[in-house]
Amino acid sequence: MSKATRQSLKLAHISVRGIVQGVGFRPFVYALAVEHNLKGWVYNTSEDVKIEVEGEAEALRQFELKLQKKAPPLAHIENITIEYYPPCGYKNFEIRHSQAQKGKYQLISPDIATCPACLSELLNPKDRRYRYPFTNCTNCGPRFTIIEAMPYDRSKTTMRHFQMCPQCQAEYNNPLDRRFHAQPNACPKCGPQVELVDNQSNLITNSNPIAAASQFLKEGKIVAIKGLGGFLLACDSTIDTAVKTLRQRKKRPSKPFAIMVSDIGEAKRHCYISSEEEKLLTSPQSPIVLMRWRKNSSASREVAPNLQFLGVMLPYTPLHHILLRDTGLPLVMTSGNLSEEPIARDNDESLRRLSGIADYFLIHNRDIYSRYDDSVAIVERGTSQLIRRARSYAPYPIHLPFNARQVLGCGAEEKNTFCLTKDNYAFVSQHIGDMENMETVQHFDSTISLYKRLFHIEPEIIAHDLHPDYLATRYAQELGKSGIKLIPVQHHYAHIVSCMADNGLDSPVIGVALDGTGLGVDGNIWGGEFLVADYRNFRRVGHLEYLPLPGGDAAIKRPYRTAIAYILTLLGENTLNAVIATLNEVKGKQSQSASIGQVSEVEIEVIKRQIERKINSPLTSSMGRLFDAISALLGIRGEIDYEGQAAVELEMAAFSSAIAKPVPSGARELDEALRQAQKSYPYRIVEDKGVRIVRLQDLLSTVIEDLQQGTSKGRISVKFHNTVARMVSEMCRLIADETGINHVALSGGVFQNRLLLRKTVSLLESSGFQVFTHRQVPCNDGGISLGQAVIANFM
């Protein structure tokens, strides 16, 4: 080599951070280096991917440019640092063994839906992986659900028990193969296998277990299927009796199920699908997407009773693809559990817990390390919003606009997640569930341990809800006995800060937190809150007026109690009697759900005494309870089977009234609904000790007038939605006039209501506000842990 040539050579030492392991990044680097005739090496560490390359200066420049611009589709590069040194004479380019580094951590890819290349092999009769249900590559397949430790190597996953055959090993060793270092790589000769058993653990002898399971599904049977993050319960969604049987056995009377269909064409036969919804459905994340349900869909209305939106997902594993093609049916796919329990994960566990639900079990011998439910999303105003954040999203972190301490946020009682912060990341867990039993608490605890281990986090602060009886609070208090600092965080403040962090905001906002329940700093139940907030503090500047909730939880489960209490408190006994008389006149038209007109005189007397004597009648400012009361008053839903049911069905009534002829676009339907019936109900805003209070007497009185005059439930519901949106807008204008703040953050489960969200955002934006809603974490209690952890960082 001449002296001039040596002088033109450069060496670059490169560190790449982000999701760059398990996504084909090292073979991409190898191919890029070979393309530009560069020498050196690349390897994984516990912290990053390290690269050292030397060659001509222009070749290095092209390499560095393409490293970021042409990275594999599943890679998420957070940061690249480059340092230059004199060349050291490398002779070739190689991929070296991974190196663990004590105390360092690496971002981890979530599980990813089957890629087109693997699907093509799966469906090709001439391919060696034809119909193999564990086909994967570096662009798809299991990731977080099989990882036990980092760096991401096969020996540290649940695939370590399967030794690759020569063909798979050759793919694994070939840097130019898309299965190079694909840790779950396998084939029918060397990989996991499927078996079919009945609910007594008896093996169903069949050379094709998936085809046999498909036949059972066609016959109306219920089959438990082991997936990526746990078992799913499946049945034919077109057979009423099959769906009803699943509901009965699962103890889930009416909470909606989702269906899985074979492809996007099939999905369009069941739902009106916008281009944004189609993009989300077919994305590598492949979540359940809630979309407008076609009336001529073959899926039974028992799948989602009384609803006009249907949850649909596409197959995201090879096993699902085979099953859906074999059955030729849209299948109910719901979490493998009894209501309120964690999803079943292991074969023995599923047979023990689900034998009373499923007739057959399609199991396999690839272990699941981390439980994951399916993610659920909607598309609003062209943007996806998560309702449940789980498979294919967690554990990807939320980026924070500050450098965080190591903090644990324990989350809420319902729809629990936890959050761990470190550096500029907030690691929000997958959906854990409702913290109502020890099985869920154990799942919560074991998943916290996993996240702490993988991301090398040892919390110095633990944040929790104010409510002393929440199991997540008790968990925090138990840990606090070791001396760790505990910080209680008000529920609705956590909601607003969660929305702020979700959007990367670091300046004060007007926060509107509308939900069902959250303990306030005054000991009452909050839920219709207007705050001025930043990461350090909040001030409650407005709320709905306090009203009694007779029986507490009993009123939540039986909204007619809430409606009766609100009428008695605001309008008196004579009005209640008149309402009962009106409802009894149209008794035949009422919902099967208990209505106010069907409540016994004895129970009404009990409710009156509870209110008068303040016996188990906590005061609430909850917007969720107001929705419940209106729903019960109209005879739509007087008793609920699942959280939020009364409010959801009230929203559906509004859609039924506002949309006469559905059109094939969810966004257009909603716009049409909002253009119609712009009328609203009156209310008053008064000020008491510097806090604005929304008085509801006039609203309730005029709703009752409409009801007595025979106005349809749907029209009343539309007017009520318009009223709440106008109420939020007016309150925000008043607060802005005092504070000068024009950023509004909307949070809380009530904003899962599409009709309300669209109308509220429209009114706020027309008033000059910049409105922020959730995108990366749910607006419901699934986002609370993020807000808790962020707030604790500033305490």
Q: Tens digit of pLDDT for each residue in 65-79?
A: 999 899 988 888 988
Mean pLDDT of 452-463: 96
Mean pLDDT of 251-267: 97
Give which of 326, 324, 362 is closest to 344, Cα–Cα. 362
Confidence of residue 594 (pLDDT cuts 50, 70, 90): low
Could you tell me the two tokens for 108?
């981890």
- Whole-angstrom Cα distance, residue 431 to residue 319? 23
- Whole-angstrom Cα distance, residue 54 to residue 657? 69
pLDDT in tens, 128-163: 999 999 999 999 999 999 999 887 889 999 999 999
- What backbone torsions phi and psi does residue 548 show, to the nearest 5 degrees? -80, 150
pLDDT in tens, 461-511: 999 999 999 999 999 999 999 999 999 999 999 999 999 999 999 999 999
- Whole-angstrom Cα distance, residue 719 to residue 362? 49
pLDDT of residue 587: 58
pLDDT of residue 99: 80
Q: Can you give 375-428 as a three-state secondary structure string?
A: CEEEEECCEEEEEECCCCCCCCCEEEEEEEEEEEECCCCCCECCEEEEEEEEEE
The beta strands (E) that lie in 140-256 are given as 194-198, 223-226, 231-236
Could you tell me the two tokens for 473?
């609070």
Instruction: For residue 13, list its beta bridge partners.
Output: 52, 83
Give which of 258, 264, 136 is closest to 192, Cα–Cα. 136
Sign of CA dihedral 780, 785, 788, 793: negative
Exposure letters 387-404 (e unless 16+ CB within 10 A, then b): bbbbbbbbbbbbebeeeb
Grouping H, G, I as helix, E, B as strand and the rest as coil, residue 307 is coil
Residue 672 in this model has a pLDDT that exceeds 90: no
Instruction: For residue 272, list its beta bridge partners.
Output: 292
Grouping H, G, I as helix, E, B as strand and the rest as coil, residue 519 is strand
Give the number of residues written for the chain.
Answer: 795
pLDDT in tens, 643-652: 999 999 999 9
Residue 79 amino acid letter = N
The pTM assigned to this predicted structure is 0.93
Sign of CA dihedral 347, 349, 353, 356: positive
Residue 60 amino acid letter = L
- Would you give the DSSP letter of residue 589? G
Start-to-end CA distance of the chain, whole Å, equals 62
- Whole-angstrom Cα distance, residue 626 to residue 699? 11
- Whole-angstrom Cα distance, residue 138 to residue 394? 18
Residue 666 in this model has a pLDDT that exceeds 80: no
203 exposed, middle or buried (CB, 10 Å; 0-12, 13-18, 19+)?
Answer: exposed
Cβ neighbours for 595, distance < 8 A, ≥ 6 positions apart: 560, 583, 587, 632, 635, 638
Cβ neighbours for 667, distance < 8 A, ≥ 6 positions apart: 274, 276, 379, 381, 382
pLDDT of residue 405: 97
pLDDT of residue 659: 58
pLDDT in tens, 280-299: 999 999 999 999 999 999 99
pLDDT in tens, 702-715: 999 999 999 999 99
pLDDT in tens, 499-545: 999 999 999 999 999 999 999 999 999 999 999 999 999 999 999 99
Give which of 306, 288, 300, 294 is closest to 664, Cα–Cα. 294
pLDDT in tens, 12-39: 999 999 888 878 898 899 999 999 999 9
Bridge pairing between strands 691-695 and 538-544: parallel
pLDDT of residue 658: 65
Mean pLDDT of 311-339: 96
- Whole-angstrom Cα distance, residue 710 to residue 723? 20
Sign of CA dihedral 505, 511, 517, 519: positive
Contact 183, 159 (CB under 8 A): yes
Percent of the chain's residues with pLDDT above 70: 95
Cβ neighbours for 685, distance < 8 A, ≥ 6 positions apart: 542, 692, 693, 694, 695, 730, 731, 734
Cβ neighbours for 25, distance < 8 A, ≥ 6 positions apart: 16, 49, 71, 72, 75
- Whole-angstrom Cα distance, residue 160 to residue 154? 5
Q: For residue 151, is the peptide bond before it cis, meaning its omega torsion is within 30 degrees of 0?
A: yes
Could you tell me the two tokens for 44?
């994984």
Residue 590 in this model has a pLDDT that exceeds 70: no
Could you tell me the two tokens for 113?
């839906």
* 559-570 vs 573-585: helix crossing angle, rounded to 10: 130
Mean pLDDT of 274-285: 97
